[in-house]
Amino acid sequence: MTQRTLTITLSPDWRAVLRAAGARARQALAAGPGSGSGYQGEQLNFETPEAFFGRLTKGRWAMVRALQTQGAAGVRELARRLDRDVKRVHEDAAVLIELGLVERDVSGRYVCPYTDIHVDMHLTVPESVAA
């Protein structure tokens, strides 16, 4: 079974992010099986730092980390692990499912499918300000 990896990026040009992902997929397909270019990980992009920090709050990161390190859990068990209200854990889990950071297993428990999550964030001075 392939260990899943996720790279989270910040790029206002989401079309360029999609094109780059498509190019990597085409390269992997062209290389064929056995070339070592198969699974290359998954990517989640946010257009702005505000979108990133607005969706991936401290409590949600704690939930992802707990699921990575302690394994799958139902909502009540996860709330107990995090010492948080069940309703809030349920709401945060719904956001993380929407983003693809958390999934449900066959028994309905929450699980983080990624063994490695990398955040790639570059903040640069816009050309109009640098000039």
What average pLDDT score do residues 57-69 get? 96
pLDDT tens digits for 84-104?
999 999 999 999 999 999 999
pLDDT band of residue 42 (cuts 50, 70, 90) is confident
Provide the percentage of residues in the chain whose pLDDT is more than 90.
Answer: 53
pLDDT band of residue 130 (cuts 50, 70, 90) is low
What is the spatial distance between Cα 115 and Cα 108, in angstroms, rounded to a whole number?
20
Structure confidence at residue 91 (pLDDT)? 97
Domains observed in the chain: 4-130 (1.10.10.10)
pLDDT tens digits for 47-62?
888 999 999 999 999 9
**Backbone torsions φ then ψ of 74, nearest 5 degrees:** -75, 170
Structure confidence at residue 19 (pLDDT)? 80
pLDDT tens digits for 105-126?
999 999 999 999 999 877 777 7
pLDDT band of residue 23 (cuts 50, 70, 90) is confident
Among residues 28, 38, 47, 29, the alpha carbon closest in space to that of 1 is found at 38
How much is the pTM?
A: 0.77
* E strands in 38-113: 42-46, 103-104, 110-111
Structure confidence at residue 30 (pLDDT)? 74
Residue 7 has pLDDT above 80, yes or no: yes
